[in-house]
Structure 1
Amino acid sequence: MGRIVFTGGTVVGAEGSFDADVLVDGERIVAVGTDLPADGAERVDVSGKLLMPGFIDGHTHMDMPFGGTVTADDWDTGTAAALAGGTTTIVDFSLQDVGGTLQEAVNTWHEKASGKARIDYGFHVAITNLTDEVKAEIPRLADLGVSSVKIFMAYKGTPLYAEDADLFEAMQVAREAGVLVMVHAENGDVIAKLQEQALAKGNTSPVYHALTRPEEAEAEATNRAIQLAEIAGAPLLVVHVSCAAALEPIHRAHELGQTVYAETCPQYFAFSIEDLKKPDFEGAKYVCSPPMRDAWNREPLWRGLQLGDLQIFGSDHCSFNFEGQKDLGRDDFTKIPNGCPGVEERAQVLWSLGVLEGRISENRFVQVLSTNQAKVHGMYPRKGTLAPGSDADLVIWDPMLDTTVSTANRHGNVDYTPYEGLTFHGGPSEVYVRGESAYRDGEVLAEAGSGRYVERRFMKPEI
């Protein structure tokens, strides 16, 4: 690993775009500017292309058990797919076993990632059993390099579900510990009752996944989480915001000066509830939670990205095969594993539907895919920026690259893609991880196991 100078391109950062060269020495960026002294460095001509900091995806589920099965992508195939989409770092959810500790959850996920991850990675901890002993563990997460915990307000009747009292107390403990609380905000009680009623009427098809998880159930839980966080004095991250109704309390919290971060995902811009109605059980391919919404919600979500109410754009990559996994719910929509693949398509969806359609700038694109992700998830400025001292994670983005998506040209391990047949304009032609070429022209070059664990610390950023 030596010195490389990237010449002739346009650097696109969170605050602006400018023509400049980027000089890399080993794993770090050492200079950004014009007429840099190359000193024998390898020259990489990126004329006509955009240089961006490596994308960060703070919301993935690799090798995760759910609903009696396990996600199709492990840390090898999942991080290969991430690389192909320009992502150089992920933060995955280590899942606490019922009766287990948070330390054990992190240890288990280290074992899953070791020898397989092709990119850098960190862990959140998803809490499934908030006992007094677990609450006492939260302050010790910093010693493990973990800066965030996730708590589920949905999935009543499963170990994931948390009562309000536990959620509130976790917020209090996390506030004192400097740990960020993330919530999956849907009203689990209402959803459970609506599902029971739907099945009693014989309504079993995939569209009922959405019809029993109405927008109001997400909006109510989002508002409730925000109010509980305000009482606890804790910062909050609401993940996978899917609709205008859930965005309203987030916007209101920002107007009142509350520290609330919010994430949305590509599937809510590319698909709608109509996809869940596809015949022959094809709708199951689009089952995720929160569900796909009526298409009119897309414009409010774009405004949320424009205004900064939605600060990060994560994939919620949670892949299950159509054959043998999704079809577990062929006769009962509640048994369809919740989740869609999307880590490979995330950036291209945002570029094609956002930047090229004039909805967001290329700088906002970098903010929500990289810089804000690094800040919220406690990795900035090591990650998320092209600046001296930062890791040499770079995406060479070719605005002229066209990609028509098919299962055959995906890099993950799932037997379908919901994006089948869509054509994206613009994409990564080459990706570097810590100064090493990791992806080029459709081929993943990084070896399994080359990714490294990134210790994170939440610093309550202003973004």
Structure 2
Amino acid sequence: MKKIITNGTIVTATDKFEADILIEDEKIVQIGYDLNSDGAEVIDATGMYVFPGGVDPHTHLDMPFNNTVTDDDFETGTIAAAYGGTTSIVDFCLSTPDKTLKEAVQTWHEKADDKAVIDYGFHLMINDANDAVLEELPQIIDSEGITSLKIFLAYKKEFQADDKTLFKTFVTAKESGALVMVHCENGDVIDYLVTKALAEGHTEPIYHALTRPPQAEGEATGRAIELAAMADSQLYVVHVTCAEAANKIAEARAKGYKVWGETCPQYLLLDQTDLEKPDFEGAKYVWSPPLREKWNQDVLWNALKAGQLQTLGSDQCSFNFNGKKQLGRNDFSKIPNGGPFIEDRFSVLYSEGVKKGRITLNQFVDIVSTQAAKLFGLFPQKGTIAVGSDADIVLFDPNKERVISAETHHMNVDYSALEGMKVVGEPISVLVRGEYVIKDKQFVGKQGSGKYLKRKKFNQGEVEIDTVPTTLS
């Protein structure tokens, strides 16, 4: 059925204007005034912003880690995302030495295909760039439209790749049109520091942060940048937390290197003292890289405003406090790493960013949607409001106030890391390809209605590098 959205204020990464939107056959077919509404459902957006649906480039749904599995799968996780204004995600598919890449991808299809209520794609993790992997990789990029590859420089016992694997992945990515995403921490140094801390009897959650210092993130970020430049390839640094890493990215971009960076809500809003909460409550705030000293928050906000960090990923990786986080009660290194943020990513960036004057309204759209769509081969299908784009639309009340709480969120996890935080601005209705998933703050979607996104190859022409020297601290 045709739909017309009327009386709202349309906001994209570049524009803000009042107009009507005509939706038909999953697409935006017309934007203008006094559109023909014959046979169309009329949606009154008076007093609301009409945003493109959020694109979350960093989620971990139904993911095994540390002898357990995340508590949000592709059903609960995407329902929560929709409530929060996100209409597309790109989740991480883990490869293992005992499976071909094709088999690993098929495993993730089986996790998602009949559960997701919004659209989704996959990144592919590479932990060993051996001959078989490098031979299969271009086929996966072409056949599956998986045009982003993930390398971990941390988690020595689980995922960590060596520099040879990282460099070979950069080379292959340049040849095949993929973007390499890197978790930048020095896993070898961290492994030493963790072993030393435990041997000295330090088991509390705060030692998760103290054994993963910002210098380890800065060093690994600089190393990844230089290896990418050596290969003349492209790099996306995930979940940047601190000045040491943000400044490395800014310096590289000033040189014209093909480097982009992401941060996450948790690093903009929380700090290292949260890990010191008594009665093991600090375990709720254990993820990697860890929370930093509070002053780093200003560095990250400034980097977003200056365009030296381009995206905001949720790094959704939820583990219940009762039962799962408790696995590390006597050993901080056994606390499952991750937190629940997929539902609040969109709103907190608006509330803490736009409403507090840290970023503009257009920057908000760019950070929460457009840049991720461009970097990961989805633009202009996703990430904007334009004729021909998918009708992924958020009707957003900019004045609605709410308090974040585990009692009211829709993630399948027993706590909120942002418990009690007041936010201004809330998605009221959310459409994916022209169909309601959230209508008047109620879920009306259908399990399995989300479509798999085969993404275009990396296109540097769709993203810009500002070669202006800057220091963010």
The answer (yes or no) to whether the contact 1:99–1:129 under 8 Å persists in 2 is: no
Deviations 1:333-387 (A, max 9, x none): 0000000010001011111111111000111010011111110110111111111
Give the match for residue 412 of structure 1: 411
C-alpha deviation, 1:251, in angstroms? 0.3
C-alpha deviation, 1:393, in angstroms? 0.4
What is the letter of the counterpart of residue 154 of structure 1? A
C-alpha deviation, 1:26, in angstroms? 2.4
What is the letter of the counterpart of residue 128 of structure 2? N
Deviations 1:46-90 (A, max 9, x none): 011000101010100000000000000011100011001000010
> How many Å separate the matches in 2 of 1:324 and 1:97?
26
C-alpha deviation, 1:127, in angstroms? 1.6
The answer (yes or no) to whether the contact 2:57–2:89 under 8 Å persists in 1 is: yes
Give the match for residue 287 of structure 2: 288
SS in 1 for 2:407: helix
SS in 1 for 2:193: helix
SS in 1 for 2:37: coil
What is the letter of the counterpart of residue 299 of structure 1? D
Give the match for residue 144 of structure 1: 144
> How many Å separate the matches in 2 of 1:109 and 1:403?
35
C-alpha deviation, 1:99, in angstroms? 2.2
Give the match for residue 278 of structure 1: 277
> How many Å separate the matches in 2 of 1:33 and 1:226?
44
Give the match for residue 312 of structure 2: 313
Residue 78 in structure 1 maps to residue 77 in structure 2: yes
Matches within 5 A, 1:53-64: 53-64=52-63
Structure 1 portions without partners, runs of 5+: none
SS in 1 for 2:198: helix
> How many Å separate the matches in 1 of 2:204 and 2:32?
57
Deviations 1:230-289 (A, max 9, x none): 000101100000111101110011111111111000000111000000000000000010
C-alpha deviation, 1:440, in angstroms? 2.3
What is the letter of the counterpart of residue 273 of structure 1? Q
What is the letter of the counterpart of residue 274 of structure 1? T
**Which deviates more, 446-455 or 137-146?**
137-146
Give the match for residue 109 of structure 1: 108
C-alpha deviation, 1:394, in angstroms? 0.1
What is the letter of the counterpart of residue 307 of structure 1? A
> How many Å separate the matches in 2 of 1:442 and 1:10?
19
What is the letter of the counterpart of residue 244 of structure 1? A
Deviations 1:90-133 (A, max 9, x none): 00001112221211111000000021000000001112333211
Residue 462 in structure 1 maps to residue 468 in structure 2: no
C-alpha deviation, 1:19, in angstroms? 1.0
The answer (yes or no) to whether the contact 1:102–1:127 under 8 Å persists in 2 is: no
What is the letter of the counterpart of residue 269 of structure 2? A
> How many Å separate the matches in 2 of 1:406 and 1:440?
21
Matches within 5 A, 1:113-128: 113-128=112-127
Residue 261 in structure 1 maps to residue 260 in structure 2: yes
Residue 394 in structure 1 maps to residue 393 in structure 2: yes
> How many Å separate the matches in 1 of 2:366 and 2:161?
32
Give the match for residue 239 of structure 2: 240
The answer (yes or no) to whether the contact 2:404–2:419 under 8 Å persists in 1 is: yes
C-alpha deviation, 1:38, in angstroms? 2.3
The answer (yes or no) to whether the contact 2:371–2:463 under 8 Å persists in 1 is: no
SS in 1 for 2:295: helix
> How many Å separate the matches in 1 of 2:59 and 2:150?
12
SS in 1 for 2:394: strand
Residue 88 in structure 1 maps to residue 87 in structure 2: yes
Deviations 1:412-457 (A, max 9, x none): 1111111111111101000001111110233221111010001002
SS in 2 for 1:343: coil
C-alpha deviation, 1:142, in angstroms? 2.1
What is the letter of the counterpart of residue 352 of structure 2? L
TM superposition score normalised by structure 1: 0.98
TM superposition score normalised by structure 2: 0.96
What is the letter of the counterpart of residue 337 of structure 1? P
Q: CA RMSD in A?
A: 0.9
The answer (yes or no) to whether the contact 1:138–1:174 under 8 Å persists in 2 is: no
Identity %: 52
SS in 2 for 1:221: helix
Give the match for residue 328 of structure 2: 329
Give the match for residue 197 of structure 1: 196
C-alpha deviation, 1:32, in angstroms? 1.3
The answer (yes or no) to whether the contact 2:127–2:165 under 8 Å persists in 1 is: no
Residue 206 in structure 1 maps to residue 205 in structure 2: yes
What is the letter of the counterpart of residue 278 of structure 1? K
Deviations 1:135-190 (A, max 9, x none): 212211221111011000001122x1101011111111111011111000000111
Give the match for residue 469 of structure 2: none
Residue 154 in structure 1 maps to residue 159 in structure 2: no
Residue 437 in structure 1 maps to residue 441 in structure 2: no
Aligned residues: 461
SS in 2 for 1:295: coil
Give the match for residue 42 of structure 2: 43
Matches within 5 A, 1:211-226: 211-226=210-225
Structure 2 portions without partners, runs of 5+: 465-473
SS in 2 for 1:72: coil
